[in-house]
Amino acid sequence: MSNAAFVTCDLLDDNPEKEIQVMTPSIDGKFFKSYGARKSFAGQVVTVKCFEDNSRVKELLATDGTGKVLVVDGGASMRCALMGDMIAESAVKNHWNGVVIYGCIRDVDAIAELDLGVHALAAIPQKSNRKGIGEVDLTLYFGGVSIHSGDYLYADNNGIVIAKEKLVDL
């Protein structure tokens, strides 16, 4: 597995003058968990906002994601998954570095074997409905941070940080 060469703690310590946001580890009593085989990952952010519909997630992860991380605002829904193993496999095939989902995923055992960074709030076996609903490249607000397409996300077992500029070579 390829992992990014950084530790989020060190990024913060080494860049006190940079604009870096730290995502709150607990959001309404829910904690982000690491599900993918990549325990640290980073990349330039692409945002998508969708609620209980993973159409845009599937579409985006089927495109070239070299050097990128998809950040999904699923409204913290605990009723269905916004990514499963087939969509995650597509992300790996298309060279995405990782996915952060403010919501649920499924097929966690299969995803744990994939060379992909995945942070999500929880797992649930229920899939989402696809109705083509969702918006791309919006500013997202969750976890005490604002996230824009074009920002840089760094995630490891210590947490998730968002920066306006690249802090390390990816």
Q: What angle do CA 56, 58, 63 make, to 5 degrees?
A: 95
With cut-offs at 50, 70 and 90, classify the pLDDT of residue 7: very high
With cut-offs at 50, 70 and 90, classify the pLDDT of residue 1: very low
- DSSP one-letter string for 47-68: EEE-SS--HHHHHHHTS--BTE
CB of 143 closer than 8 Å to CB of 4:
no
Model pTM above 0.85: yes
CB of 152 closer than 8 Å to CB of 44:
yes
The 10s digit of each residue's pLDDT in 66-114 is 999 999 999 999 999 999 999 999 999 999 999 999 999 999 999 999 9
Alpha-carbon distance of 161 to 152, in angstroms, equals 8
From the number of C-beta atoms within 10 Å of its C-beta (0-12, 13-18, 19+), residue 73 rates as buried
The 10s digit of each residue's pLDDT in 118-135 is 999 999 999 999 999 999
Written as one letter, the residue type at 74 is: G
Alpha-carbon distance of 153 to 43, in angstroms, equals 6
CB of 161 closer than 8 Å to CB of 8:
yes
pLDDT at residue 2 above 50? no
The 10s digit of each residue's pLDDT in 87-97 is 999 999 999 99
Give the containing element (helix H, strand E) for 12. helix 8-14
The 10s digit of each residue's pLDDT in 27-61 is 666 789 999 999 999 999 999 999 999 999 999 99
